């Protein structure tokens, strides 16, 4: 006690070990200090340091638990830090984020600071329960093994009563949608009660399945305080449902881990609502980090957005992260490598302004193991919801036949109308 | 169906009703569009609109559920929106945030957008369970009715084993701290096991209580996946503990609401770690919104930071919000009014770089119903942890006696040393 600790966290020749180190990549714009000094501050604050010169730490303790800044680029404003695994509770995502995305993100020494990626030690990946179904399990439930699947969110997102809602679900399925998904803000509302909605929509689902001979799925949003969320999930199961949706950020990791652990034999779909509060702008956490946590804590499906073009290609980077077994490092996209061991791949759900004209690009960028989710494009089709669903399905069929949409549209008027209605 | 909806959300002469409207204040910097246009987009996206002209909505539904932008200031980049309460599930914070802090925060039409405050309809406030103990209950447990209370986080935050940790807790209490709190990243680690730590620290607590004749409290961090969090909370109760800490953002609202509902007869302390990812920088949610949610879902104590000077005074604004019954509107700090009805006041915990020289200002700004939390200042005092705690306690005592710290320090060497060591 009382010794003077030598604090130096920059160790450029350090080579991290996948068994021993948790690696974080940060984007940092320092305010009035050098990037080296900023890196020291981040390593200290997210490690074992304090703003004051604490007397209760020995040099031995310091050396054993000290994070190491092993990469630092002034050109890119990037640093990488290797944290000894002893600083973390492996299976406790709350603890891990408290360390690497806690106080450091609020320090006044930086103009901006963002946690871009975390590479977990393999021992950590093994500690998490992971997805139950994943891509294969979902395809088995749906009896769809080759093509991308088609989903829609009912519009208007709020305002329809249970019966009106089920009517539009009916038309969406009839037109060719495989999935109907609740909006992230549709839970149990005054004019659209959860239990009643389940009754109507699952009733309609059975009807359409009989008519079409196809498996259809409804994904109700069960996001709520935990015991109510659990009650709603059980009602879904009771109604013969196979899927539920949960808002990852507004419900929170801890309750979701519990729901996964109970293993109610339902596929878990993670919605990213409120993500922008963390991921957009100067300070925060990247969407990639949230997607990785979603895989660790056991989602089977995750909404990755629809950004597959341009410089960022965020959806592509995240799509690979959740669907590959071994994810390679991408220095341009600031993605670290990751070995997912036996954790199943999550099915990526693509959504956000998607219409038939974008389907081809989505599949080319992300492959066939995706669910393409159209909201507006399905329900705002000039021919109505059934035609809107047909047009989206036709866009997928065209791609599976190796035809460009324009050609296929010659014999499919719904697609022709959609391609005319919405351009990129 | 198929009608052309007239979308206009700007209704400047609209007067919101506390029983019917949920009000949001946003800071918005539009990109290439006017603030009016931006306001329309926000109201549409967080209301019942879609990017496409949806055919499934009637004008009647639209009018009944349409949000109203009733305040718009180009000078301040501020808009206020009144949302009809029917758009929300009153007791479901996940649903409310999905609406008002969901997609809107990620729209590409804005350079930045931040949700600054939410005023809840009174019916909503009644739906939440709220704090069990609050300020009065905590004072009763501690037998401290007049003065601000003193707390410390053990430093180094990580790295000490259970026995070393309990030794420093011992010294902190002996020196005059009322509370010892775990760091937000200290849960159950390889060299500091949760159950073992409880055994040692609660043992030491009893010893100090006997020696000093004073009630002391230990606040363990139980943040973990839900069932493990519950197990840990029960171990705290079994050890005679009265308090637990939970990381609000990294654990998540849903699991916390469940823990509160179980009513284990423990005081809930909310730590704000990872808040900066949401609250700092251009896009996001203000700390004020998170603090209000903490009161709704039932925390008894909440960490408000230590910013009481300068233009922002964030801690003061938040401190009032969680401790007053009726909170007044503050146009400069962008705080809306709120009537908290019967919801108990939360005890504010002030922390972050606090040392004896700052105690007077804290009390003047926030009043006596606060817990002053010193980490570094306690454990980095040149005389060690006991002296560090004494110095902090002396700073509180001085203020209670109406003496300025410098005068009181003449007869209290620990305080004198601290005042010399740390200047503002």
A91 touches chain B (CB under 8 A): yes
Most confident of the following: A221-235, B62-76, B93-107: A221-235
- pLDDT for position B376: 87
In this complex, do A224 and B184 lie within 8 Å of one another by their Cβ atoms? no
Instruction: State whether residue A278 sits within 8 Å of chain B by CB.
Output: yes
Residue bearing tokens 């060690």: B384
% of chain A with per-residue pLDDT over 90:
82
SS3 B305: coil
Q: Which residue does chain B place closest to A282, by CA atoms?
A: B281
Contact B285 A276 (CB under 8 A): no
Option in B93, B98, B277 nearest A185 (CB): B98
Q: Which residues of B touch A273 (CB under 8 A)?
A: 97-98, 102-103
Q: Pseudo-torsion of CA B383, B384, B389, B392, nearest 10°?
A: 50
Residues of A in contact with B279 (CB under 8 A): 106
Residue A194 has pLDDT above 90, yes or no: yes
Question: pLDDT tens for residues B320-365?
Answer: 999 999 999 998 889 999 999 999 999 999 998 899 999 999 999 9
3-state secondary structure chain A: CCCCCCCCCECCCCCCCCCCEEEEEEEEEECCCCHHHHHHHHHHHCCCCCCCCCCCCCHHHHHHHCCEEEEEECCCCEEEEEEEHHHCCCCCHHHHHHHHCCHHHHCCCEEEEEEEEEECCHHHHHHCCCCCCHHHHHHHHHCCCCCCEEEEECCCCCCCCHHHHHHHHHHHHHCCCCEEECCCCCCCECCECHHHHHHHHHHHHHHHHHHHCCCCEEECECCCCHHHHHHHHHHHHHCCCCEEEEEHHHHCHHHHHHHHHHCCCCEEEEECCCHHHHHCCCCEECHHHHHHHHHHHCCCEEECCCCCCCCCCHHHHHHHHHHCCEECCECCCCECCEECCCCCCCEEEECCCCCHHHHHHHHHHHCCCEEEEECHHHHCCCCCHHHHHHHHHHHHHHHHCCCCHHHHHCCCHHHHHHHHHCCC
The confidence score (pLDDT) of residue B4 equals: 53
Q: What is the pLDDT of residue A293?
A: 94
User: Is it the case that residue B7 has pLDDT exceeding 80?
Assistant: no
Return the residue of A nearest to B275 by Cα. A102
Say what percent of chain B tops pLDDT 90.
82
Q: Which helix (H) or strand (E) holds B230?
A: helix B226-238
Q: Which of the 8 DSSP states describes residue B370?
A: E
Q: How far apart are CA A371 and CA A271, in angstroms?
A: 13
pLDDT of residue B279: 84
Place of tokens 């306001």: B39
Tens digits of residue pLDDT in B216-231: 999 999 999 999 999 9
Interface test with A, best of B91, B281, B298 (most A CBs within 10 A): B281
What's the confidence (pLDDT) of residue B53?
58
What is the tens place of the pLDDT at every residue in B222-257?
Answer: 999 999 999 999 999 999 999 999 999 999 999 999
- Determine, for residues B253 and A285 on separate chains, whether the beta-carbon distance falls below 8 Å: no
Name the catalytic one among B271, B379, B393, B412: B271
pLDDT at B1: 34
For residues B210 and B249, the answer to whether their CB atoms sit within 8 Å is no
Q: H or E stretch including B28?
A: strand B21-30
* Cα A140 from Cα A147, distance rounded (Å): 13
| CATH code, B134-421 | 3.20.20.110
pTM, full prediction: 0.93
- The yes or no reply on domain A8-125 and CATH 3.30.70.150 is yes
Beta bridge partners of A10: A69
Angle CA(B88)–CA(B90)–CA(B95) in degrees, nearest 5?
A: 50
The predicted-structure confidence for A349-365, as pLDDT tens digits, reads as follows 999 889 999 999 999 99
Q: Residues A148, A323: contact at Cβ < 8 Å?
A: no
Judged against a pLDDT cut of 90, whether residue A252 lies above it is answered with yes
pLDDT of residue B173: 98
Residue A279 has a pLDDT of 84
Q: Cα–Cα distances in Å, from A127 out to A56, A254, A298, A320, A340?
A: 32, 15, 12, 22, 12
Contacts of A188 in chain B (CB under 8 A): 89, 92
Catalytic residue from among A271, A344, A393, A412: A271
Query: What pLDDT is attached to residue B372?
Result: 97
Average pLDDT on B170-181 reads: 98
Give me the interface pTM, i.e. the ipTM.
Answer: 0.92
Q: Looking at chain B, which residue has its C-alpha nearest residue A418?
A: B52
Average pLDDT, chain A: 92
Across the range B81-104, mean pLDDT stands at 95
Distance of CA B250 to the CA centre of its chain: 13
**In which band, very low, low, confident or very high, does the pLDDT at B50 lie, cut at 50, 70 and 90?**
low
Rg (Cα) of chain A, in Å, rounded? Answer: 24
| Residue A111 is a catalytic residue | no
Of B268, B266, B286, B267, the closest CA to residue B276 belongs to: B286
Interchain CB contact of A332 with B (< 8 Å): no
Taking the domains of chain B in order of start, what are their residue ranges?
Answer: 8-125, 134-421
Which tops the pLDDT comparison, A401 or B107? A401
What is the pLDDT confidence band of residue A3, given thresholds at 50, 70 and 90?
Answer: very low
Residue A6 above 90 pLDDT?
no
Res A53 pLDDT > 90 = no
Rounded Cα–Cα distance for residues B28 and B5 (Å): 26
pLDDT tier for residue A278 given thresholds of 50, 70 and 90: confident
Q: What percent of chain A has pLDDT over 70?
A: 96
Most A CBs within 10 A among B52, B86, B304, hence the mutation to make, goes to B52
Question: Chain B within 8 Å of A122 (Cβ-Cβ)?
Answer: no
Residues 189-248 of chain A with CB under 8 A from chain B are 189-191, 223-229, 247
pLDDT in tens, A123-158: 999 999 999 999 999 999 999 999 999 999 998 888
Q: How confident is the model at residue B3 (pLDDT cuts 50, 70, 90)?
A: very low
Nearest to B219 by CA among B177, B282, B275: B177
The stretch A283-296 carries a mean pLDDT of: 92
What digits encode the pLDDT tens for the residues B398-414?
Answer: 999 999 999 999 999 99
CB A197 within 8 A of CB A160: no
Cβ pair B175, B377 in contact under 8 A: no
Tell me how far apart the 2 most distant CA atoms of chain B are, in Å: 83
Token pair in block for residue B237: 């109760």
- The pLDDT value recorded for residue B58 is 73
Q: Which residue of A has its CA nearest to B376?
A: A52
Mean pLDDT, residues A244-254 taken together: 96
In the numeric block, the tokens 């539904």 are attached to B61
Per CB-CB distance under 8 Å, the chain B contacts of A165 are none
From A114, A155, A216, A412, active-site residue: A155
Identify the pLDDT of residue A2.
Answer: 38
Q: Is B294 on the interface with A (CB under 8 A)?
A: no
Q: From the list B56, B256, B275, which residue is nearest A155 (CB)? A: B56
* Interface mutation target, options B7, B98, B105, chain A, most CBs of A under 10 Å: B98
Q: In terms of Cα–Cα distance, which of B217, B239, B200, B241 is closest to B151? A: B217
Cα three-residue angle A122-A275-B350, rounded to 5 degrees: 90
Q: Active-site residue A271, yes or no?
A: yes
Q: What is the pLDDT of residue A9?
A: 92
Q: At B357, is the secondary structure helix, strand, or coil?
A: helix
pLDDT at position B2: 38
* Mean pLDDT, chain B, integer: 92
pLDDT above 50: residue B155: yes
With a CB cutoff of 8 Å and minimum separation 6, the contacts of A63 are none
Give the other-Cβ count within 10 Å of A413's Cβ: 14
Tally of CB atoms within 10 A around A328? 10
Burial of B402 (0-12, 13-18, 19+ CB in 10 A): exposed
CB atoms within 10 A of CB A54: 24
A144 Cα to chain B: minimum distance (Å): 29
How far are the Cα atoms of A86, A164, A402, B19, B296 from residue A61, in angstroms, in the given order?
11, 64, 62, 57, 41
Catalytic residue among B41, B68, B155, B216: B155
pLDDT at A1 over 60: no
Question: Concatenated DSSP letters for B75-113?
Answer: TTTEEEEEEEGGGS-TT-HHHHHHHHTTGGGG-TTEEEE
Residue B51 has pLDDT above 60, yes or no: no
């Amino acid at each position: 006690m009382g010794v003077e600790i030598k604090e130096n966290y920059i160790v450029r020749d350090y080579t991290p070990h996948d068994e021993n180190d948790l690696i974080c990549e940060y984007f940092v714009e320092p305010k009035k200090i050098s990037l080296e000094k900023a890196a020291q501050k981040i390593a200290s604050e997210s490690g074992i340091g304090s703003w004051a010169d604490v007397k209760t730490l020995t040099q031995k303790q310091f050396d054993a638990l000290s994070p190491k800044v092993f990469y630092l680029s002034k050109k890119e404003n990037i640093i990488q830090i290797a944290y000894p695994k002893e600083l973390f509770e492996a299976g406790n995502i709350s603890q891990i984020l408290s360390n690497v995305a806690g106080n450091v993100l609020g320090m006044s020494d930086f103009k901006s600071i963002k946690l871009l990626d975390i590479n977990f030690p393999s021992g950590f990946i093994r500690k998490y329960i992971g997805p139950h179904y994943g891509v294969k399990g979902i395809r088995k439930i749906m009896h769809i093994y080759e093509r991308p699947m088609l989903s829609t969110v009912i519009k208007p997102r709020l305002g329809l009563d249970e019966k009106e809602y089920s009517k539009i679900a009916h038309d969406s399925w009839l037109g060719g949608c495989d999935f109907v998904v609740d909006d992230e803000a549709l839970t149990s509302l005054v004019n659209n009660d959860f239990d009643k909605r389940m009754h109507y929509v699952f009733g309609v689902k059975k009807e359409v399945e009989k008519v079409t001979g196809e498996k259809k799925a409804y994904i109700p949003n069960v996001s709520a305080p935990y015991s109510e969320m659990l009650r709603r999930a059980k009602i879904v199961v009771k109604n013969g449902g196979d899927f539920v949706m949960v808002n990852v950020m507004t419900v929170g990791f801890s309750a979701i881990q519990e729901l996964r652990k109970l293993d109610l034999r339902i596929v878990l779909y993670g919605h990213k609502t409120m993500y922008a509060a963390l991921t957009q702008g100067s300070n925060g956490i990247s969407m990639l980090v949230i997607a990785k946590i979603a895989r660790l804590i056991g989602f089977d499906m995750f909404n990755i957005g629809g950004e597959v073009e341009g410089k960022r290609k965020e959806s592509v980077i995240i799509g690979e992260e959740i669907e590959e077994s071994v994810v390679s490092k991408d220095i341009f996209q600031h993605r670290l490598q990751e070995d997912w061991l036996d954790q199943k791949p999550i099915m990526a759900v693509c959504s956000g302004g998607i219409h038939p004209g974008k389907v081809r690009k989505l599949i080319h960028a992300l492959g066939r193991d995706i669910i393409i989710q159209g909201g507006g494009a399905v329900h705002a089709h000039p021919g109505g919801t059934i035609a809107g669903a047909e047009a989206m399905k036709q866009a997928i069929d065209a791609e599976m036949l190796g035809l460009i949409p324009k050609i296929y549209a010659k014999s499919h008027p719904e697609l022709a109308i959609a391609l005319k209605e919405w351009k990129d």
